[in-house]
């Protein structure tokens, strides 16, 4: 789910669904025929998995910014997977506590592996190890039931965050409101790090201004490309040399959008990355980090300015891209994305069957049909 960096993103920043959905699908298939969870069971377990991830991240102020130390899905995603699976398997309260404790011992991956082939393993391991933690708890393995508490002198889950202040949760009742009800999830329009979506929309905006100005997009008229972006080292990559580096490069995505008028699946092919005209554009990029442009997916913006040889300059800016939780994709756009991705591996009739199943998930008698 994460190998193309095309999965959903939440705030505080993590990729919530990829860490839990495969575990729930596996658990649904694993259970014997007479105990298969129905669609409502599946949806509730999914929400529990998201809820645990979101609550844990809200306990840390550090988690609200673009991460520097641990890749969030490898941390909260592992516990989310354990919680979701434990819920689907109907583990007892004590077993659920042990599942989270076991998962905490299996969690964590460093951000240094961002923009490499190892990064997708973080999400794959999160869903796999969370499932494993729940299965072990169900078979009697124990762990520290206070793993999520902040105990002085004893690092539990607090080991992952420099600031960690857990809060007790009220018992769910009729008035319980899931985090997913309060905040939407961001769905990407193209397969790259979420931060790239701001600079691409800004670049497309200024590209239109440039075409109106010059009649066509003529790179030779451009002296400097100025990017105003937040400080975040692992996505500030002036000359990416691989597919994964390109997916994590403000510079590459801005220049690809300027040159092609879009960013899509083909933008990250070897031939596209190493084009001479693209490399020439990358050589014109200068980066600035305005103090008001913070590394936070809820507050950041992207700005792309073209400084021309004529002395004129044109600027495009984006503070909320299409697909952000403040500006969510329409169902039509989501279905278009799903059909496009699924068409590489499934025939059309199976794609439409999945869409129908998901649309009616709450009425599904056996969620393993997914």
Domain chopping of the chain, boundaries: 8-183, 194-318, 331-369
Predicted confidence band at 106 (pLDDT cuts at 50, 70, 90)? very high
Q: What predicted TM-score, i.e. pTM, was given to this entire model?
A: 0.93
Residue 316 neighbours by CB under 8 Å, 6+ apart:
201, 202, 203, 204, 205, 206, 207, 208, 209, 303, 304, 305
Domain 8-183 has CATH 1.10.357.10: no
- How do residues 23-77 score in pLDDT, each as one tens digit? 999 999 999 988 999 999 999 999 999 999 999 999 998 888 888 899 999 999 9
Between CA 275 and CA 279 the distance in angstroms is: 6
User: What is the reported pLDDT for 133?
Assistant: 98
Q: For 339-355, what is the mean pLDDT?
A: 96
Are 308 and 298 spatial neighbours (Cβ–Cβ below 8 Å)? no
**Band of residue 126 on the pLDDT scale cut at 50, 70, 90:** very high
Q: How does 245-275 read in b/e, with b if 16+ C-beta sit within 10 Å?
A: bbbbbbbbbbbbbbbbeebeeebbeeebbee
Please report the pLDDT score of residue 171 as a whole number: 74
Beta carbons within 8 Å of 104's beta carbon, 6+ residues apart: 78, 79, 143, 147, 148, 156, 157
Tell me the β-bridge partners of 154: 151
CATH number of 194-318: 3.30.1330.120
β-sheet bridge partners, residue 315 = 305
> Residue 170 pLDDT > 90, yes or no?
no
In the numeric block, which tokens belong to residue 264? 């899509």
CB 66 within 8 A of CB 230: yes
CA distance 121 to 26: 17
User: Cα(370)–Cα(360) distance, rounded to whole angstroms?
Assistant: 11
Please report which confidence band the pLDDT of residue 184 belongs to, taking 50, 70 and 90 as the band edges. confident
One fold for 8-183 and 194-318: no
pLDDT tens per residue across span 202-252:
999 999 999 999 999 999 999 999 999 999 988 999 999 999 999 999 999
| Confidence band for 254, pLDDT divided at 50, 70 and 90 | very high
Q: Write the pLDDT tens digit of every residue in 291-335.
A: 999 999 999 999 999 999 999 999 999 999 999 999 999 999 999
Nearest alpha carbon to residue 127 among 313, 257, 1, 269:
1
């Amino acid at each position: 789910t994460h190998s193309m960096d095309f999965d959903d993103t939440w705030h505080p920043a993590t990729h919530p669904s990829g860490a839990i959905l495969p575990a729930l699908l596996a658990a649904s298939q694993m259970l014997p025929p007479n105990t298969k969870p129905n669609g409502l069971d599946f949806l509730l377990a999914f929400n529990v998995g998201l809820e645990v991830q979101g609550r844990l991240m809200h306990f840390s102020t550090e988690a609200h910014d673009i991460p520097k130390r641990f890749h969030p899905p490898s941390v909260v995603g592992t516990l989310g997977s354990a919680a979701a699976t434990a819920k689907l398997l109907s583990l007892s309260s004590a077993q659920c506590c042990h599942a989270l404790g076991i998962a905490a011992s299996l969690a964590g991956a460093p951000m240094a592996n961002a923009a490499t082939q190892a990064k997708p393993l973080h999400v794959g391991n999160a869903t796999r190890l969370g499932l494993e933690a729940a299965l072990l708890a169900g078979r009697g393995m124990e762990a520290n039931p206070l793993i999520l508490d902040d105990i002085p002198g004893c690092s539990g889950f607090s080991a992952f965050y420099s600031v960690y202040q857990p809060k007790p949760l009220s018992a769910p009742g009729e008035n319980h409101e899931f985090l997913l009800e309060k905040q939407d999830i961001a769905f990407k329009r193209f397969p790259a790090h979420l931060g790239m979506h701001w600079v691409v929309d800004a670049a497309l905006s200024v590209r239109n201004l440039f075409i109106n100005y010059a009649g066509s997009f003529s790179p030779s008229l451009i002296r400097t490309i100025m990017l105003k972006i937040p400080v975040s080292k692992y996505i500030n990559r002036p000359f990416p040399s691989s597919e994964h580096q390109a997916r994590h490069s403000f510079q590459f995505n801005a220049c690809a959008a300027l040159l092609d008028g879009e960013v899509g699946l083909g933008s990250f092919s070897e031939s596209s990355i190493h084009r001479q005209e693209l490399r020439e554009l990358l050589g014109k990029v200068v980066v600035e980090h305005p103090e008001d442009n913070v590394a936070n997916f809820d507050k950041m913006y992207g700005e792309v300015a073209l400084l021309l040889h004529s002395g004129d300059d044109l600027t495009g800016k984006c503070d909320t891209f299409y697909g952000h939780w403040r500006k969510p994709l329409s169902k039509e756009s989501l279905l278009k994305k799903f059909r496009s991705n699924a068409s590489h591996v499934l025939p059309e009739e199976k794609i439409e069957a999945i869409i129908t199943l998901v649309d009616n998930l709450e009425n599904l008698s056996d969620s393993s049909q997914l």
